Amino acid sequence: MNTFIDFLREHGLEPSVVSQVTISEWGRSVDVACHFNPYGAARAYRLLFRGCSHVSWDVQEDAIDATEPATDIIGFEIQAQRRGLQPHRTGEDVAVLATTNFELSISYTTFTLDLP
pLDDT along the chain (116 residues), means of 10: 61 86 94 86 91 91 70 83 76 89 93 91
The pLDDT assigned to 1 comes to 44
Kindly write down the DSSP assignment for every residue of 33-97, as one continuous string.
Answer: EEEE-SSSS-EEEEEEEES--EEEEEE-GGG--TT-S-EEEEEEES-GGGGTPPPSSTT-EEEEE
Would you call 75 exposed, middle or buried from its count of C-beta atoms within 10 A (0-12, 13-18, 19+)? middle
Which residue ranges make up each domain of the chain?
2-114
The pLDDT assigned to 6 comes to 62
The pLDDT assigned to 74 comes to 86
Report whether 100 contacts 60 (CB < 8 A).
yes
The pLDDT assigned to 29 comes to 97
Q: pTM for the whole thing?
A: 0.84
